[in-house]
Structure formats: structure tokens, C-alpha cells
Structure 1
Amino acid sequence: MKTVLITGANKSIGFEATRQLLAKGYYVYLGSRDLEKGNEAVATLKAEGLTNVEPLQIDVSNPESIAKAREVLGTKLTSLDVLINNAGILGGMNQTALATETDTVREVFATNFFGVIDVTRAFLDLLQKSDEPRIVNVTSGLGSLTLHSDPNWKYYAVKTVAYGPSKSALNAYTIVLAYELKDTAFKVNAVDPGYTKTDFNHHSGPGTIEDAAARVVKYATIGADGPTGGFFSDDNNPETGVSPW
């Protein structure tokens, strides 16, 4: 049975991705910053008959928490097949370049960018022991510099000085990581789940959580002939699913 770690999985897209992977026969470690919320999420899934899941406390912005999570997971398995770096924060609305404090930018980057690097490095040894390791970095269309430079883009006016740039940085990290692992069995991709109706955006998005999670799961479960080092978004390009950087 293949194993998965999903960060920020106690609610919204991460939770639904957990549900969909469980339905596909994966064993999922549901990462949650708050263990109580993680336990509640696991209880909900088990009540649905999805039993191959357990919580793992992990705060991706806290190196000590990441190290502890790695230690705990290391007592449960010898290899990890899939890492989904899903945890992320918005940093509030109205993130203007002139008024937003740099503390806000640092806080968002600590989770959305540096947290991904720290988690990936912490669990890389377990992933390297998998026959088909997969890493999915959950990004956003707001991380596309190409689209942000296009006045005709539907989200052109949605500019954020912390959140968007944190995802642009994440995309850049994905390219470097995929390149360094290109001669291995790893598949490393950045996936935009789309503008989805969640707590994250006060339920303003038009997309469903089910569809958003399915996009993430698709690249978490790709075969040996699947892509690596890509940026995929059905929201930005429904025809090909490939987003411009």
C-alpha cells in the first residue's frame, strides 16, 4: 500500500485530497498544525469507512515541529511514496506593495515557501526509498508572473505583495528541485487547484473543493511516464492544463 503525507490536511482541499487518495487505496498521514483538529478530521474520515489514515502533527513554519514529525513518521514506515506540500496561508487581504509591512511578507513566506523547503528536505530520505516518489507543491495561479503581466488575464487586478510572490518563489523552487531529481524516479510538480470556494478566501471562489482536490491527486498519482518540473492549472488553461510561469 502506497503512503502519503499531506500538510495542512485537516480541512478544505487538503482534507478532500486525503479522502480521494484513501478511496484510491493509499494510506494517508494527515498533517495538521493542531493535533486536535487532525484527530477530528481523521474521525470524520473513519466514520465514512475510510480507515487507512492517521493524524500527524506538523507546523510547516516551525523547524522543530517538522523535525518531530519526521521522527514520528520514521517510527511508522521506512519509505514514503507521496509528499503533498499543501499547507499555506494568505496573509490577509489588501496586500499592497506600498502599505504592507514586511513582517506580513515574511510570515507568508515562512509557511508557503520556506516551510515547503524544510518539509521536503526533512522527508526526502523517506521519499528516496520509494520506487515511485511523487512531490506535489500546491501553488496558485497568482504565482504566474506571465499572467500577472497580461492585462487581459481574468485575475489581472488581483495583486498581492505577499501571497502571490510566495507562490512564484515556490514555483521557482519546484523547477530547481525537479531538475536536481530529473535522473531519478521522482516526479515533482507545482499544481494550482484553482480559485476554489474555501475558508481561505471566505468562500468567494467559484470552484468546488472536490474538483480542486482532484487536480492535486492527479499529479500525486501519475505514472512513470508522467511529467515532472511542470506548473499545471486547469483554471488558467483548461485546454492543456499547463500554466505559464
Structure 2
Amino acid sequence: MEGAISSGPNPRIAVVTGGNKGIGFEVCRQLASHGVAVVLTARDEPRGAEAVEKLRALGLAQVIFHQLDVTDTSSIATLFVFLKTRFGKLDILVNNAAIGGVEYLQELHANEEKFAGMDFDQMLEWMVKNVREPVDSAKKGVQTNYYGTKHVTEAVLPLLQSSSEGRIVNVSSLFGLLRLISNEEVRQELNDIDNLTEERLDELLDRFLREFEADALEARGWPMGCSAYKVAKAAMNAYSRLLSRRHPALRVNCVHPGYVKTGITMNSGVLTPEEGARNVVKVALAPEGGPTGKFFAEDEEASFV
């Protein structure tokens, strides 16, 4: 679904992955409300097109849809060609598309009343207890949450470099903090950005999946409970730091939007998608010359550890 992009002679162009619902939809809405021309992407074309129509009904005409499956290299290539042909540049990439990497107990998906009286920790404990983690789901989680983010980013890098100040915002999580990995060797490697390489990241992820399949996660010091989500986000954080060093002209940052009520959290959480998206958009629209290679927990710069 293509529309006219007409907010000034040279509007900022943003791509948001996983933009048809939840945090991604709100990021699209808020960016468009700030005058940014937004390419809302989603794997499911009807749902993506419907999301754009909702935004246009709000008077946000500067939003268009393009199909994108972040795990499909041909889909990523098609998006790149579209962006290059249509705009010739990209100013903001928000890598929001993600999956839980788990199998949800569907009967336990809850509405807000379920969590009345629960605090943050109780809700989180409830969510982790009510998922299963089969190997296939873990593999899909790593493929989507780490490799999907990486492959989209690498594909559009030339367009970001054509911007006067390209920005990459990777939607992360407190689940990606290194303190959750008890294996000291792995934790130190992921934090040693001077010596870490993308090839080593691949090796560590392969090792994680092998040990997951061998039912050896706890024995080898990997995080338990939503394990694949935690490890993929930790790897994405490390990749973001490497990328910021490799391309110092770009602004590359990770944002934990907060514990948000979305499908991934089974509608548990303490923030609305609108509130979570606000934290992402703040980093995406930070003044020129701002920080790069950083982690923001909700509204403040924080440690990757």
C-alpha cells in the first residue's frame, strides 16, 4: 500500500519492523505525529495494511505499508529495493519485530483483571511459568530476534549512510542484560566489545542452541525461563555495540521500552504500548550528535550488564 509522502521537501524517513500492533504500531503513530514519513512493515500483509488505515483515519497520511518478513532474505531484499527506489535514503530504522521464542499456554492468555493486585515481579513470574520452551520455538526466537534484526540492518545500512545522521534503534529488554547469564566466560565475552566479533556471536548462539537441545542450559550457565528470548536479546545488544563502533557516523542504540502489555508478555505488564513506544521514539528522535552504542532502560541510559 503506497501513499504520498509530502511533509516538506525532504522529510525524515523511518522504517519500523513489526509495526502492525503493540509497541511497533505506537512507534509508527508517534513518529508520524512528529512529522516523520513512516514505512510500517509487517509480515502479514492484510494486518499491516489495516494498521496503516487506522493511522490514516487518525489524520496521519505520512504512513505507508510494505510487507517484510525479517526471517526471509528475499523479503528483506525487496524492502531495500523499494526504499532505495522510492526515497534513496533512510533516516531511522526501528528494529521492533520480535517473538517470544516460546510456546504460550493459550488458555492462560489473560486480560488485565487477571493481574489485579500483582506487582511487577509477580506478573513476570506468572508469565514465565505459563510458557513452554520447545527447541523449535527457541530456534525461531534466535532466528527472528537476533538474525532477523541483524539481516534487516545490514541490508539497509547503505541507505542509513546516505542520511545526514542515520539512526538505528533496536528494541531490547531487561531480559537481555548480561547479569542473567551465570556463565562468567560467556558473560565476559559478550561484554568485551574490543575483542568480540560477529563470527564469535554466531558461535555462541550455535552453542546455546546445542546446549538447549541437550537440556544442559542450567548446567552450562545459560539463563532459564524464556531462555532463547534472553540470549537473543543479549546477542542483539552486543551486535548493536559492535555496529556502533564499525559505523561511528550512525547513532546505534538499544532501548528497553519497559514491561509493556503486549502479546509477548501475555498482556501482563505495567505500561501501555503507548507508554513503551514513547521511550523508543525519544531515542529515535534524539538531537543530532547524541549517544551511540548505548542501552536505555525506559527513559534513562543504563548498563548492558
- So what's the TM-score if we normalise by structure 1? 0.88
- The 1-side partners of 2:83 and 2:225 are apart by 38
> Residue 20 of structure 2 aligns with which residue?
10
Moved over 3 A (4+): 93-96, 99-102
Structure 1 letter corresponding to 2:158: D
Structure 2 letter corresponding to 1:161: S
> Residue 74 of structure 2 aligns with which residue?
64
> Residue 166 of structure 1 aligns with which residue?
232
Structure 2 letter corresponding to 1:243: S
Structure 1 unmatched runs, 5+: 150-156
- The 2-side partners of 1:102 and 1:200 are apart by 18
Which residue of 126, 141, 147 corresponds with 1:108? Answer: 141
Alignment of 1:104-183 (within 5 A): 104-146=137-179, 159-182=225-248
User: Are residues 1:195 and 2:205 paired?
Assistant: no
> Residue 52 of structure 1 aligns with which residue?
62
* 1:105, distance to aligned residue in structure 2 (A): 2.0
- The 1-side partners of 2:89 and 2:294 are apart by 24
- The 2-side partners of 1:213 and 1:160 are apart by 22
Deviates more, 1:30-39 or 1:65-74: 65-74
Give the number of aligned pairs: 230
Deviates more, 1:18-27 or 1:224-233: 224-233
Q: Secondary structure at the match of 1:107?
A: helix
Which residue of 6, 20, 31 corresponds with 2:30? Answer: 20
Which residue of 25, 28, 41 corresponds with 2:51? Answer: 41
- The 2-side partners of 1:39 and 1:84 are apart by 19
Structure 2 unmatched runs, 5+: 1-10, 105-126, 183-222
- The 1-side partners of 2:14 and 2:95 are apart by 11
Is the CA contact (8 Å cut-off) linking 1:147 and 1:244 kept in structure 2?
A: no
Q: Secondary structure at the match of 2:71?
A: coil
> Residue 153 of structure 1 aligns with which residue?
none
Which residue of 219, 222, 226 corresponds with 2:286? Answer: 222
Cα root mean square deviation, aligned: 2.0
- The 1-side partners of 2:164 and 2:231 are apart by 34
Structure 2 letter corresponding to 1:179: R
* 1:181, distance to aligned residue in structure 2 (A): 1.1
* 1:109, distance to aligned residue in structure 2 (A): 0.9
CA deviations over 1:3-52 (Å, ceiling 9, x no partner): 00000001000000110001100000001101111110000000110000
Is the CA contact (8 Å cut-off) linking 1:58 and 1:69 kept in structure 2?
A: yes
- The 2-side partners of 1:219 and 1:22 are apart by 15
Is the CA contact (8 Å cut-off) linking 2:101 and 2:226 kept in structure 1?
A: no
